[in-house]
Amino acid sequence: MRKALLATALLSSLASAEPTIIPLPKEMKEGQGSFPVSPETGIRYDAALDGITKLFAADLKERTGQEPKTVREELRIMLPSEIRLDLDNSLDLKPGGYKLEVTPKGVTVIGKDVAGAWYGTRSILQMLPAKGTDAWTDKAGAPVPVVSITDEPRFVWRGMHLDVGRHFFPAEDIKKFIDWLAFHKLNTFHWHLSEDQGWRIEIKKYPKLTEVGAFRDSSPPYGNRNSDDGKRYGGFYTQEQIKDIVAYAAARQITIVPEIDMPGHMAAAIAAYPEFGNSDIPGYAPKVIGRWGVHPYTLAPTEETFRFVDDVLTELCALFPSQYIHIGGDEAPKDQWEKSPRVKELMKKEGLKDGHDVQSYFIKRVEKMLEKKGRKLVGWDEIREGGLSPNATVMSWRGEGGGIASAKEGHDVVMASNSHLYFDHYQGVAKDELAKGEQFEAIGGFLPISKVYSYDPVPKALSPAEAKHVLGVQAQLWTEYMKDWYKVEYMAFPRVAALSEVAWTPVERKDYAGFRGRLDGILKHYDAAGVKHGDPLDPPKRETKDGSTITTSLGAYQDHWPEFAYDGKPGTFFWADRALKADDHVTLKFRAAVSGKAKVVTGGPASQNGDKLAGGVLEASSDGSQWTQVAEFKDGSAEGALPAGTTGLRIRVTKPQENWLIIHEITVE
């Protein structure tokens, strides 16, 4: 009896918590109780859902150890415990939409289409307790909380990118990655397959692309990015492996968009076939590059090169059924073209005034190739240089400018801003990450999960009509500093969870606190599956350390609130958002009267200018109206004794300054 009561209490407590679903559904109504997934639970399904039913059954078996019985809905076979998967294309939902009803007696998923039914099964998996928890061991079954959900995606492009050019990862790891993208209802995997540092896809007509281009002589080691380890490195995917992975992703409702980056980032290909580069320039000596960064080798805009590109795209399109083919177009230096007699002759013939025009000419030629193959071109925002191809889709990575301009011109865009969506940036404070070991090195930047979550892919600069050109959003994993799969997962997760909610959930439904609560449940799923992940770095709360209050005449830059000047945390600080005027102030009202020595240090390394207070005084008050100077700021610091009964401390500016102001911490001892 005691064991039964404990089991009942456990089921009740789990069911009463907010359902663990990320991304948050469009509509969700919680009920009382739960449905137990037990060894007797089976799946009844529409015949059109045979594929996803088999995958869902395998997922349940992997988590429970029991293989659920599956029954097509037209068969009159009794199931004692049932999850039903159905279709109804008349649902008033977007493609990918679904309805999910969980009652104590059963579960029903109705998809607008196959993808919608699939997403409903992902919600069920997320709401189940993580594998290995006590809830799975009780014969009563693992609880799915009673809930009613009506859901649909906000965007049609919900993407995650992975660079395999800098570092290569086995096919099984790619499949594992796809599983977790699907778990979060992402639907696009952007596979970056070529780089200066390695060509990663077999092209049968050009075998040297992998024989030569897939291998480099050296790589920079962690901790010394301007050095070489002297170790030969490389690898590539065969066409059979590619077909297998494409089918694997499609079964999980994920489209793989391949990228062959051109005309820049082509050193590996040119090393294999030097005739396709600018071989008529002085000092021409292409090789597979062993250092990171942008390198000068670009494809030559010759007919011979365009035949090569067309051949590669022909084999690529045979492997990838994606409507979109990504051709890169980013970071293509114009130096070699400007030195090439052949390119100068082309410019004269075609009326091209500079290297940007040459790039536009190149991209437009490639777009015509893809159009003949029934595909659409997508490229990084540099494809705008010299004029955008007529039907091109722009992936805006250098902020939002390229995306805004393209949408206003009537082009579709995918927002991929490096400010919020580059997962190769540190997700924790750099010094704390590096303290774990040099293998935690990142390219730079700081992108905590809260900042990812804050992103809205629709810029405010767009009108409602223009905003319709925003297909969606995508995050990037550039792998210069990801030598193994452990590091890829560590950098991707849990930020992928935040990305999924940005991509799926209506913006008015988003709430970081709610997301953060649900994320704890998702982290348990990661841990149960052995997925490596970073620890979420939550933004500091806007509060002082003891309830004291701060007022100021200055605004705060970004999220560096005034309260951070008195929160007892050395890593936070107040940062004013403008130049200082005489009598600007930051005033601290203590929760209770104090005395002792007050110290204030201004300025800090966050600012290139230091942002110290050049002219100011530190003042104390016992009543908030009469102020007494206790110290003058010298070299950005002030220290003075506070009279007994001090209730207020004020930093007052005595002379204007162009630099802003940083206050790290006010201390009283």
- The DSSP annotation for 10-55 comes to HHHHHHHSPP--SSPPSEEEEEEEEEEE-TTEEEEE-GGGHHHHHH
CA distance to 51, 74, 124, per residue, from 47 (Å): 9, 8, 20
Per-residue model confidence (pLDDT) at position 74: 85
Helices 512-529 and 495-504 cross at an angle (nearest 10°) of 130
Least confident of 26-40, 49-63, 67-81, 352-366: 67-81
Q: Which residue type is seen at 353? A: K
Check pLDDT > 70 for residue 660: yes
Per-residue model confidence (pLDDT) at position 439: 97
Per-residue model confidence (pLDDT) at position 63: 86
Record the tokens describing residue 154, joined without a space: 């906000």
CATH code for the structural domain at 549-668: 2.60.120.260
Check pLDDT > 80 for residue 33: yes
- Pinpoint the alpha helices (H) of 152-192: 171-183
Per-residue model confidence (pLDDT) at position 604: 87
Closest CA to 528 of 126, 224, 141: 126
Q: What percent of the chain has pLDDT over 90?
A: 89
In this prediction, residues 499-527 reach a mean pLDDT of: 97
Per-residue model confidence (pLDDT) at position 209: 98
Per-residue model confidence (pLDDT) at position 528: 95
pLDDT band of 192, cuts 50, 70, 90: very high
Residue 118's Cα: distance from chain center in Å? 22
Tell whether domain 157-415+484-494+501-529 is in CATH 3.20.20.80. Answer: yes
In this prediction, residues 367-388 reach a mean pLDDT of: 95
- Pinpoint the alpha helices (H) of 193-340: 208-211, 239-251, 267-272, 303-319, 335-339
> Which residue shows structure tokens 């896809």?
201
- What residues does each domain of the chain span? 2-151, 157-415+484-494+501-529, 549-668
Per-residue model confidence (pLDDT) at position 236: 98
Instruction: Name the average pLDDT for the chain.
Output: 94
Record the tokens describing residue 30, joined without a space: 């919680």
Check pLDDT > 80 for residue 9: no
Residue 310 CA to residue 365 CA, distance in Å, equals 10
Least confident of 32-41, 469-478, 485-494: 32-41
561 close to 574: Cβ distance less than 8 angstroms:
yes
Query: For 544, phi and psi rounded to 5 degrees?
Result: -80, 170
Check pLDDT > 50 for residue 558: yes
In this prediction, residues 545-560 reach a mean pLDDT of: 94
- The DSSP annotation for 383-395 comes to GGTTS--TT-EEE
651 close to 640: Cβ distance less than 8 angstroms:
no
157 close to 499: Cβ distance less than 8 angstroms:
no
SS3 39: coil
State which CATH number among 3.40.50.300, 3.30.379.10, 1.10.10.10, 3.30.540.10 fits the domain covering 2-151.
Answer: 3.30.379.10
Q: Give the model confidence (pLDDT) of 239-289 as tens digits.
A: 999 999 999 999 999 999 999 999 999 999 999 999 999 999 999 999 999
Record the tokens describing residue 599, joined without a space: 């110290």
Check pLDDT > 70 for residue 12: no
In this prediction, residues 463-467 reach a mean pLDDT of: 98
Q: Give the model confidence (pLDDT) of 70-102 as tens digits.
A: 999 888 888 999 999 999 999 999 999 999 999
Check pLDDT > 50 for residue 35: yes
Record the tokens describing residue 430, joined without a space: 């750099």
The 10 Å Cβ neighbour count of residue 659 is 17
Per-residue model confidence (pLDDT) at position 13: 39
pLDDT band of 383, cuts 50, 70, 90: very high
Least confident of 14-18, 423-427, 588-592, 608-612: 14-18
